Amino acid sequence: MKRYLVLGDGQVIEGTALGASGVSVGEVVFNTGMTGYQEILTDPSYSGQIVTLTYPLIGNYGINEDDFESDRIQASGLIVKEACDEPSNWRSTKSVDKLLNERNIVGIQGLDTRMLTKRIRSAGVTMGAICDSVEQGQLALDSHPGYGESDFVFSVTTSTAYKWGPSGKESVSEPDPTGRPRLVVLDCGLKFNILRRFWKAGCRPIVVPATATVDEIMSWKPDGILLSPGPGDPRRLGPVIETVKGLIGRRPIFGICLGNQLLCHAVGGETFKLKYGHRGSNHAVKDLETGKVTITSQNHGYAVDPESLNGTAAKVTQINVNDGTVEGIAIPDADAYSIQYHPEAAPGPWDSRPYFTRFVESISK
């Protein structure tokens, strides 16, 4: 069955149906990772976005029950060159098409994803609609707010606090006899693998909603605080920024991705929207103190303005090797640090996994 991708500038690209029938609307972005489509689809940072996967064959190892990064598909839609109908892997339980159908997610395949990626790189990200008719897509685009006009964090954050243990989510009333240091996680769009890595590193994650106040966070008696990744424009998160501002200096803080941008705003800095963002598993980052370069997994469309940090308590610690954008900041006097990339990967390289152990060691003293 024919299906169409209608872009915000009026361009129409024809393909064939993938997943559920209907229409999906979102900001059209691309991810260059060769693997990890299941993790990408369930990453809350993709809320409000239609993801184009640049690798031509997607779904050859299927979908399993272990690699979900949240409790639902977060992306608005999926664009691929070809979706594998008959996956082959001992963990596979279904195909990508079946997963999308089960979760009522509209996708499209059979179009030239290389052409689409080059168009986004040249013109920048744009809103788009995947639909069964061009007229349907145009109507949906006309009535849908732009990506930067929505507060996605409050739709992906947890509604209630919970603890994380060896088997996953646990009730906050669950006894905690381990004596592990407590890490309170401000959930702005959390991936499960972040919690898995911190538990393995030796701490006890306690996840709270993005709406939590300073007093509510401190009532958990945290040894450290994590500012999680998440979707959308950080400038729209005024209440969350005020919360972060109130936490600086009270406990050690570590921020990841959106957490890096929130820490920037909390000290008076600014962020800006990238032309097409950083999304993939092969982004080189340089540490300005050591000179060491690591390969990182990334997923963000906004970045810290380095000049805006002049005169603030923060300093730039890491930069992107490709375009020089800020990849990390620090407030040494407040024991607060953040990075723009994803040390938990899923998918991606493990180069930056030591951050989990280092932070847990620092809050265990």
* Cβ pair 334, 248 in contact under 8 A: yes
Predicted pLDDT at 65: 93
Token code pair at residue 15: 């393909």
Please give the C-alpha separations between residue 69 and each of 45, 86, 205, 299, in angstroms, as whole numbers: 11, 23, 16, 14
- Rg of the chain (C-alpha set): 20
Catalytic residue (choose from 203, 257, 265, 283):
257
The CA dihedral of 177, 182, 186, 192, to the nearest 10 degrees, is: -60
CATH number of the domain enclosing 297? 3.40.50.880
Q: What is the pLDDT of residues 5-41, one digit of tens each?
A: 999 999 999 999 999 999 999 999 999 999 999 999 9
- Residue 156 CA to chain centroid, in angstroms? 11
Distance in angstroms (rounded) separating the CA atoms of residues 264 and 336? 11
Domain boundary pick from 115, 149, 183: 149
Say how many domains are in the chain.
2
- Residue 284 CA to chain centroid, in angstroms? 18
Q: What is the pLDDT of residues 126-161, one digit of tens each?
A: 999 999 999 999 999 999 999 999 999 999 999 999
Domain boundary pick from 91, 115, 149: 149
* Cβ pair 165, 182 in contact under 8 A: no
Q: What is the pLDDT of residues 322-340, one digit of tens each?
A: 999 999 999 999 999 999 9
Task: Please tell me whether residues 144 and 176 are part of one structural domain.
Answer: no
Predicted pLDDT at 356: 96
Task: Please tell me whether residues 40 and 144 are part of one structural domain.
Answer: yes
Task: Please tell me whether residues 143 and 241 are part of one structural domain.
Answer: no
CATH number of the domain enclosing 48? 3.50.30.20
Beta-sheet strands, E only, within 97-194: 106-109, 126-131, 162-165, 168-170, 182-187
- How much is the pTM? 0.96
Task: Please tell me whether residues 168 and 281 are part of one structural domain.
Answer: yes
Task: Please tell me whether residues 103 and 178 are part of one structural domain.
Answer: no
Range of the structural domain that residue 6 is part of:
2-149
> Annotated catalytic, 82?
no
Name the nearest CA neighbour of 346 among 284, 300, 301, 297.
Answer: 297
Catalytic residue (choose from 27, 69, 327, 344):
344
Q: Is 321 exposed, middle or buried (0-12, 13-18, 19+ CB in 10 A)?
A: middle
Domain boundary pick from 99, 127, 149: 149
Predicted pLDDT at 176: 75
Task: Please tell me whether residues 240 and 343 are part of one structural domain.
Answer: yes
Distance in angstroms (rounded) separating the CA atoms of residues 81 and 325? 30
Task: Please tell me whether residues 75 and 189 are part of one structural domain.
Answer: no
Task: Please tell me whether residues 68 and 99 are part of one structural domain.
Answer: yes
> Annotated catalytic, 257?
yes
> Annotated catalytic, 283?
no
- CB count, 10 Å around CB of 86? 9
